[in-house]
Amino acid sequence: MAEPLLIVEGLRIAYGGIQAVKGITFHVDPGETVALIGANGAGKTSTLKALARQLDAAGGSVRYQGREISALAPHELVGQGIALVPEGRGVFARLTVTENLEMGAYCRHDKAEIADDLERIFALLPRLKERHGQLAGTLSGGEQQMLAMGRALMSRPRLLLLDEPSMGLAPIMVQKVFEVVQEVASQGMTILLVEQNARLALQVSRRGYVMESGDITLTDAAGTLLDNPRVKAAYLGE
Amino acid sequence: MSWNDLKHDRRVLWAGYAAIGIVLAVLPFLVGAGLGNAWLRILNFAMLYIMLALGLNIVVGFAGLLDLGYIAFYAVGAYLYALLASPHFGLHWPVWAILPLGAVVAGGAGALLGAPTLRLRGDYLAIVTLGFGEIIRIFMNNLNAPVNITNGPQGISSIDPFHVGGVTLAKPLSVLGVTVPSLHAYYYLFLLLALVIIFVTIRLEDSRIGRAWVAIREDEIAAKACGINVRNIKLLAFSMGATFGGVAGGLFASFQGFVSPESFGLMESIMVLCMVVLGGMGHIPGVILGGILLTILPEAFRHAAVPLQKYAFGKVVVDPESLRMLLFGLALIAVMLYRPAGLWPSATRKRELQGGSK
């Protein structure tokens, strides 16, 4: 088995005196999609934010491709091949769809290949192509989510961090967004997915970790977790 | 041939530029002869305000950082010129040394203001920058004791006029047999520098830096996720904006021959901000228009107030100065109500406010 792309060991995050994440350990292998599921306030998003260097961890190590990255500045991650799709989408509202996607390639200088990638993203997300000249702020929530994913892909990442892609979306759009996640994953992208919608998250993932009040309490293959009575009762509403 | 075809025809474009060039070239003579030297001075100030508005536009319009103390950088440039080229310290440095130095020092002051405010946005940033602007003004006001540096509220006078080599703009110049009076010469100088600043701003807007500014204006977290070094890009916005202010300040000191803290109050900062917002935030032609209109209109009000009142009432009822501010305020309200994106907004901003359909 290949060396994991991302290894998180003993990650702790604290807000003031309150421990939000209490020393969790997990890993992501190259090419797999891993879901981090759990209830509101379990520490999922905090974990992802710490990985993306949007907030400082209180302890633990984060190794990516064998290299410690917990001291890098957030903007340096893109150069390392890590792309974040932030919670709440965070598109550049007053830029057009195309301009948003081009911003994703901000750190790249290969103009011709950027143009090729833009076409590839448009092929993957035809809705965006239809609306390429429209301001991102005028797109629907689902379209904005797809745009945020497209923008992250424009940096040609090796690891995609997805923070709550289903948040605030209509059910039909949630379905569509997850189809895109699956499509991207099937092309070989490594994805770490943080999600409240446990069922969908596990359906597109290979493995899953369940977080409960700052700890990882359960981990298994995604299919097994879907059948786990505890997970069913707590997160799948069965 | 439709208007759009015309617009894209190279020859028409060049003819348009040539026409604008000719108008700008003969403008001081027309204004000087037709309206008098007072208006020519106002025209010169309009050029200075265009430079200031374009500088502030980088901070407010491009990077979305609300700065209420921008005039401080104008003050830094003006005082630097005044201290290094006046009898106050007996220094008479050449212009070509002071102006770039003023730009650099103002740029440094910009970064100095930017550094502690990196985490602030919106109202909080506005309050800190407002405080910064006032601090600079109060410094200028009080740095006359124990060591007299700025000469306090009296200000510094007899500042050297703009001069390069043996040529000074204080006396009429003779160029190719045409006599160019001092005010006219300053006009051409300011016009030239305003054009340089316009050119630089246009290039900046199209650059990677310009796109990064817009990105942090729209969403800082997403900008970071795109690999933008938000800290440096913000500092650069403050610094670049301040640089323009510093240059304009140096020109102001040389033109006016006198600087005092009074010229750099909060009202001036707000005036420049109004030029940016009224003209069309982030849209270079709009900001230029804002700078011109807000320099000229208040003066026009002032000049029209007395004769109009005499004509209507037979005497002066309201002091023209207070009337000027009243009308100015009304004009601001009207523009914000009827043209919220500014008088000449960028296409994007207009679309956004009209509901977004293309």
User: Which of B153-162, B195-204, B222-231, B318-327 has the weakest average pLDDT?
Assistant: B318-327
Distance (Å, rounded) from C-alpha A3 to C-alpha A27?
10
Q: Mean pLDDT over all residues of chain B?
A: 89
- Cβ-defined contact of A83 to B212 (cutoff 8 Å): no
Is B187 within 8 Å of B40 (Cβ atoms)?
yes
Closest residue in B to A90 (Cα–Cα): B222
Measured in whole angstroms, the distance separating CA A151 from the mean position of its chain's CA atoms is: 12
Residues of A in contact with B205 (CB under 8 A): none
| Structural domains of chain A ordered from first start | 33-54+72-235 (3.40.50.300)
pLDDT at A80 > cutoff 90: yes
pLDDT at B322 > cutoff 80: no
- pLDDT for B166 equals 77
- pLDDT for A157 equals 95
- Measured in angstroms, the CA of B156 and the nearest CA of chain A are apart by 46
> Crossing angle for the helix pair A141-153 and A171-186, nearest 10 degrees?
20
- pLDDT for B241 equals 96
- pLDDT for B228 equals 95
What value does the mean pLDDT take over residues A149-158? 95
Distances (CA, A) of B27 to A157, B40, B184, B287: 56, 9, 9, 21
Partner A contacted by B351 (CB < 8 A): yes
- pLDDT for B356 equals 41
Which member of B222, B223, B358 has the closest CB to residue A133? B358
pLDDT at A1 > cutoff 80: no
User: Which of A42-46, A83-87, A225-229, B179-183 has the weakest average pLDDT?
Assistant: B179-183
Local structure of A195: helix, strand or coil: strand
Partner A contacted by B227 (CB < 8 A): yes
- Cβ-defined contact of A106 to B227 (cutoff 8 Å): yes
pLDDT at A192 > cutoff 80: yes
- Measured in angstroms, the CA of A25 and the nearest CA of chain B are apart by 24
- Chain A stretch 176-195, residues whose beta carbon is closer than 8 A to a beta carbon of chain B: none
CA dihedral B99, B104, B105, B109 (to 10 degrees): 130
Q: Please, is A160 exposed, middle or buried when counting C-beta atoms within 10 Å of its C-beta (0-12, 13-18, 19+)?
A: buried
For the stretch B259-301, pLDDT in tens is: 999 999 999 999 999 999 999 999 999 999 999 999 998 888 8
- Cβ-defined contact of A152 to B230 (cutoff 8 Å): no
Name the strand (E) or helix (H) holding B311. Answer: helix B284-313
pLDDT at B142 > cutoff 90: yes
pLDDT at A31 > cutoff 80: yes
What value does the mean pLDDT take over residues B73-98? 94
- Cβ-defined contact of A134 to B221 (cutoff 8 Å): no
For chain B, give the number of residues: 358
- Cβ-defined contact of B356 to A152 (cutoff 8 Å): no
Q: Which residues pair with A59 in a beta bridge?
A: A12
What value does the mean pLDDT take over residues A203-220? 94
- pLDDT for B327 equals 78
What value does the mean pLDDT take over residues B310-337? 81
Closest residue in A to B354 (Cα–Cα): A138
- pLDDT for B353 equals 59
User: Number of CB pairs < 8 Å for A and B?
Assistant: 84
Q: Report ipTM (2 d.p.).
A: 0.89
